[in-house]
Amino acid sequence: MRKGANPIEEYKQSKDGNPLRITEDLERFTTQGWEALTPSDKELLKWIGVFFRKPTPGKFMMRIRMPNGFTTSAQLAVIADLSKRLGNGMLDITTRQQIELRGYTIESVPEIFERLRGVDLRTLQTGQDNVRNINGCALAGLTPTELLDASPIVVDLDRTIVGTGGNPEFANLPRKFNMTITGCVENCTHNESQDVALVPATKFIHGTLYSGFHILVGGKMGSGGFTIASNLEWFIEPGQAHDVVIQIIKLFHDEGARGARTQCRLAFLLEEWGLDRFRRELVQRLGWQPGPAGKDARSEGHNDHFGVRRQKQPGLHSVGIRLSVGRIRHESLRELSRLADAYGNGEIRLTTSQNAILVNIPEERLDALLSEPLLRDLSPEPSRFFRGLVACTGTDYCNLAQIDTKGRAVQISRALEERLGPDGKPITIHWSGCPAGCGNHQAADIGLRGMKVNVEGRSLDAVAIYVGGRTGPKARAGTQIMDIVPCDEALPDVLANVVKHLELFKQVQARPTVRDRILMVPATEMSDEEFDFHAPSMVSLAESTIAASAGTLTVANVASRKVVQVMVCSINDLKTGSGYSALAKGKQLALFLHTDGRIFAVDAECPHAGGPLDESTIKNCEVTCPLHDYKFDLISGRCSTDPVLTLQTYPVFVEDNQVWVEIHE
């Protein structure tokens, strides 16, 4: 195992390399209260699924492990009851097919653990440097289109990696590890963004056609953007899958980097070694050589398993329903539990698109189920703008998020319905509140990444817009076509234009001659055939948005410039109230940590006479130049001493304790 060189590695070593030992401190935490938690305590608690949330001091989030997204009515009933009695009544279904319980206190953790164990649920190893909840086809074992049912492999792997009490052997990885194991041929999971994915494949061996898997490795969504997983070009049979996956995890455990957290995913080990060395090292650990690749059994399309579908079991159906951006109240979750019992066999499946599927519904019971009041709210036939809508947690509960995602995603989709109509080919729209990419914004038809911008002294929510992302056999990372677009009343019109000309925007990457014009959209209605990036009738999207925003926007000055995200320091380098000097792309910056946890980045040189602002301290949200006492607001950059002066400010975000700044070149 490589030597650790970051605070998280130090925290793990404080528990002798077994962070699951944080359970030994639970009694102390419940006695002393959340205010006594140290930074180490807060990080280590994530190993047992307990998350301190800065936006809700004293109220925690708990992530419940649900391999393959499989759950039962009894489990949902318990979770709903816990949310009502001990939480804030609100729950989230995540893109990893699990449920997050919100708003409970540290004192209630032992009771929650006990109730969950009573229905065979656990929260172990759902955060930090673990194998996260293992994804799979939500209709595994039921859909007629699967090549094979891979869910037993998922369950078996989860039993090995986590078990009933946690497994220290797999709890000290260099970083998080995402996996998908699927036999579905219709790309209902995001395989290419995973550290490891087993995808369905076939191969003739000695004249007999076998069903098995191809192995994809090194995918990721955060830590620098969407990296598409590489195919090891091997074919393995179902009985070999467990062994291969376990050895890949162990290889990552032993050889993965443990320095800067943003460089510790499996993708970076593959970048360092190359695929050939990775294969050699893995074969040595396996003790046998996997055979060459067969044929990828997947189709090029995508299936979300929505609506009413026939199962492979005669006379039975599944009903996929929309849970708007995955957020659901405890009353609705309990009702979903009741419906699973009343119309099916008590099974419910959660999807990577934050929705739920009722399964094993007899055909003669379908009409009655579809008439239930809950299914009028959680429709199995949503509009094209809601069917593929995904959003990360956002600023409601996540301190990394820059903007509200869930509420705004729903609002914008409703506005798109009004402008373009609810009917038509469904499109995927994914929202991420920051560059960490938890909403998978680069794997959607339209992706939005949140940020904060300063416009004429005001801090505004804005998004970067991506198009053309997808996973599957022809995976492609979404292309950023717009840089800073404010989340104001003009945003629905901006996105409506993108929707209308989506196919043309998707072609931008293949037409480098128009790279500088990709922010151009038609000023008036025109068909896709008439759309021309070079036509003189084009107007800048920035200009049209300015007009709609009463002239308050400065997008025109930055829209065509490149955005660079630079890691400048660790959050532990910053001291509350004091300045910190950092260099980013040739710019000398001053960073400040506010008492409320916010981090600000500004030019280090005072615009008055060049005074060193990084040697200053801050009071409230104002920095005072040590040379001539000129005062600047850290949010707007405005100078209260001389209103003519303005200090340049920069968007800041934090990922895994590393501080990043966005610079426009």
**Kind plus residue range of the DSSP H or E element containing 622:** strand 622-624
Contact of 566 with 600, CB cutoff 8 Å:
no
In the residue annotation, 639 being an active-site residue is answered as: no
Which of 15, 102, 122, 175 is the catalytic position?
A: 175
What's the length of the chain? Answer: 665
In the residue annotation, 175 being an active-site residue is answered as: yes
State the burial class of residue 189 (Cβ atoms within 10 Å of its Cβ: 0-12, 13-18, 19+): buried
Which of 218, 222, 346, 433 is the catalytic position?
A: 433
Amino acid at 176: K
CA quadruple 132, 136, 138, 141: dihedral, nearest 10: -140
In the residue annotation, 439 being an active-site residue is answered as: yes
Q: Which residues pair with 439 in a beta bridge?
A: none
Question: What count of other Cβ atoms lies within 10 Å of the Cβ of residue 483?
Answer: 22
Contact of 482 with 231, CB cutoff 8 Å:
no
- Which tokens go with 416? 């798109």
Nearby residues of 187 by Cβ (< 8 Å), 6 or more positions away: 298, 299, 301, 302, 303, 471, 472, 473
Which of 12, 176, 258, 470 is the catalytic position?
A: 176
Could you tell me whether strands 428-432 and 388-391 are parallel, antiparallel, or unpaired per DSSP bridges?
A: parallel
Which of 15, 63, 203, 309 is the catalytic position?
A: 63
Contact of 55 with 329, CB cutoff 8 Å:
no
Query: C-alpha 285: how far from its chain's center?
Result: 32
DSSP string, 464-480: EEEE--B-STT-BPPEE
In the residue annotation, 438 being an active-site residue is answered as: yes
Which of 103, 219, 222, 439 is the catalytic position?
A: 439
Question: Cα(50)–Cα(19) distance, rounded to whole angstroms?
Answer: 13
Which of 137, 264, 438, 606 is the catalytic position?
A: 438
Enter the DSSP assignment of 520: E
Catalytic residues, by residue number, are: 63, 175-176, 433, 438-439
